[in-house]
């Protein structure tokens, strides 16, 4: 299976990952053979990328959590946002208590499952439509933060609080005008100042209305702080920033970069990793970046890539110690089909991955 932009999907390809609508219901099930009608339906639903199986590779890549658990988490966070919109007096507090308890139960299940795994690697990009971005982003940031936390050696109690805070990190955006959050162009200084308020407003709301513990709610306040002091709202530096907030900062930026937005398309995983690594020690904590990078697979098995020596191949194996240097089965040389052979990039220091190829 491999990830392709929807415009590269072809009749006869098979859908390798199910697609879900905004309510968590299956829109199209994995295994369906695509035709032009279904491809158009996927486009109209707002999906810009899909996973396919074709004759290039049928290797199955599993998500770090089961699809049904991911959808349950999305439904839980969506319910909290909905409750905030409908807030009206005393009855709302009872509703919040129930919803937050439900969310915590989902979190415990996710943490327990992932904590038991010996080797967790992030190989899949979460496929989502543009309309469902807010909820899917919250869940993905929580999962990425959890992976970093496990890699960094946090205990289970820490992971519960980290994951809860990560899921709710952007809840303050509920109080920011939607037209600013979805503005396609650059924000003015005044507009950006308004958007920045979501950090403090989310923190205060979790304290005053949701009764979220301090270790979790601090994430909302600090997840835009940077270790060099250039972040907001308080321009905190390095050790002044809470550990959980530093973790979520990495996860938030990474998921934002690898997600399609109204105002720009997603960038490839390897480019997002380069950005994160480039900000190491400046924007992001050095040790946490190291813990994150070793858990991300930029070129999963089945990915078609172009190498710097002008050959094209399919990733056959991922080296967990050097994820940027996979083992590749070469299928084309200088634009022509060739006899297949293997290149192990861990043994070829002069050859690097140049690009991902979607159509050959």
Q: What angle do CA 33, 34, 39 make, to 5 degrees?
A: 160
Residue 58 lies in a domain: no
Residues 244 and 332 in one domain: no
Residues 42 and 148 in one domain: no
Residue 198 lies in a domain: yes
Q: Which of 267, 293, 319 is the last residue of a domain?
A: 293
Distance separating alpha carbons of residues 173 and 230, to the nearest angstrom: 21
Residues 212 and 341 in one domain: no
The pLDDT of residue 124 is 62
Q: What's the count of helices (H) and strands (E) in the chain, helices before strands? A: 12, 10
**Could you tell me if residue 89 is left (phi over 0), alpha (psi between -120 and 50 degrees) or otherwise beta?**
left
Average pLDDT over residues 10-36: 87
Q: What is the pLDDT of residues 165-218, one digit of tens each?
A: 999 999 999 999 999 998 888 899 999 999 999 999 999 999 988 889 999 999
Residues 271 and 337 in one domain: no
- Going by pLDDT thresholds of 50, 70 and 90, the confidence category of residue 91 is very low
The pLDDT of residue 90 is 41
Distance separating alpha carbons of residues 307 and 53, to the nearest angstrom: 22
Q: How many CB atoms sit inside 10 A of residue 209's CB?
A: 14
Pair 324, 351: CB distance under 8 Å: no
Residue 299 lies in a domain: no
Distance separating alpha carbons of residues 344 and 282, to the nearest angstrom: 33
Residues 242 and 284 in one domain: yes
Residue 60 lies in a domain: no
Residues 17 and 86 in one domain: no
DSSP SS3 for 349 = coil
- Going by pLDDT thresholds of 50, 70 and 90, the confidence category of residue 155 is very high
Residue 86 lies in a domain: yes
Residue 30 belongs to domain with CATH number: 3.90.105.10
Residue 61 lies in a domain: no
Residue 124 lies in a domain: yes
Residue 272 lies in a domain: yes
Domain that includes residue 317, residue range: 304-356
Distance separating alpha carbons of residues 157 and 273, to the nearest angstrom: 28
Residues 45 and 74 in one domain: no
Residues 289 and 308 in one domain: no
Residues 317 and 236 in one domain: no
Query: Which residues 6+ apart lie within 8 Å of 296 measured at CB?
Result: 121, 122, 269, 273, 323
The pLDDT of residue 306 is 94
Residues 14 and 146 in one domain: no
Report which secondary-structure segment, H or E, holds 210: none
Q: Which of 293, 314, 337 is the last residue of a domain?
A: 293
Read out DSSP for 13-70?
A: -EE-S-EE-TTS-EEE-TTPBP-HHHHHHHHHTT--EEEEE-SS-------SS-HHHH
Q: Please give the DSSP secondary-structure letter assigned to residue 350.
A: T
Residues 282 and 181 in one domain: yes
Residue 258 belongs to domain with CATH number: 1.10.3210.10
Q: Of 321 and 305, which is predicted with more confidence?
A: 305
Give me the number of domains the chain comprises: 3
Average pLDDT over residues 157-163: 97
Residues 232 and 264 in one domain: yes
Does the bond joining 318 to the residue before it have cis omega, within 30 degrees of 0? no
């Amino acid at each position: 299976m491999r990830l392709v932009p929807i415009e590269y999907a072809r009749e006869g390809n098979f859908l390798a990952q199910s697609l879900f609508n905004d309510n968590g219901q299956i829109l199209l099930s994995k295994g369906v053979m695509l035709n032009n009608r279904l491809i158009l339906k996927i486009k109209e639903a707002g999906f810009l990328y899909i996973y396919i199986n074709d004759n290039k590779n049928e290797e199955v890549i599993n998500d770090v959590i089961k699809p049904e658990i991911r959808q349950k988490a999305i439904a839980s966070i969506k319910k909290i946002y909905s409750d905030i919109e409908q807030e009206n007096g005393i009855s709302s507090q009872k509703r919040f208590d129930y919803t937050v308890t439900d969310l915590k139960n989902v979190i415990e299940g996710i943490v327990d499952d992932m904590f038991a795994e010996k080797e967790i690697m992030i190989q899949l990009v979460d496929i989502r439509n543009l309309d469902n971005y807010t909820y899917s982003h919250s869940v993905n940031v929580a999962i990425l933060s959890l992976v970093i936390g496990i890699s960094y050696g946090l205990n289970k109690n820490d992971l519960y609080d980290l994951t809860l805070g990560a899921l709710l990190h952007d809840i303050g955006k509920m109080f920011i005008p939607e037209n600013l959050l979805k503005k396609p162009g650059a924000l003015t200084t005044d507009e950006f100042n308004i958007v920045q308020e979501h950090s403090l407003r989310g923190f205060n709301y979790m304290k005053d209305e949701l009764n979220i513990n301090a270790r979790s709610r601090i994430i909302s306040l600090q997840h835009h702080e940077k270790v060099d002091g250039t972040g907001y709202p308080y321009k905190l530096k390095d050790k002044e920033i809470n550990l959980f907030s530093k973790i979520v900062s990495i996860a938030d930026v990474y998921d934002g970069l690898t997600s399609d937005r109204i105002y720009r398309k997603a960038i490839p995983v390897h480019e997002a990793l380069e950005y994160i690594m480039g900000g190491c020690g400046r924007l992001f904590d050095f040790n946490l970046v190291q813990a994150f990078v070793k858990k991300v697979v930029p070129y999963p098995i089945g990915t078609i890539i172009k190498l710097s020596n002008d050959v094209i191949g399919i990733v056959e194996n991922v080296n967990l110690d050097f994820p940027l240097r996979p083992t590749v089965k070469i299928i084309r040389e200088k634009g022509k089909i060739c006899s297949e052979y293997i290149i192990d990039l861990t043994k070829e220091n002069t050859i690097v991955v140049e690009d991902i190829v979607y159509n050959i």
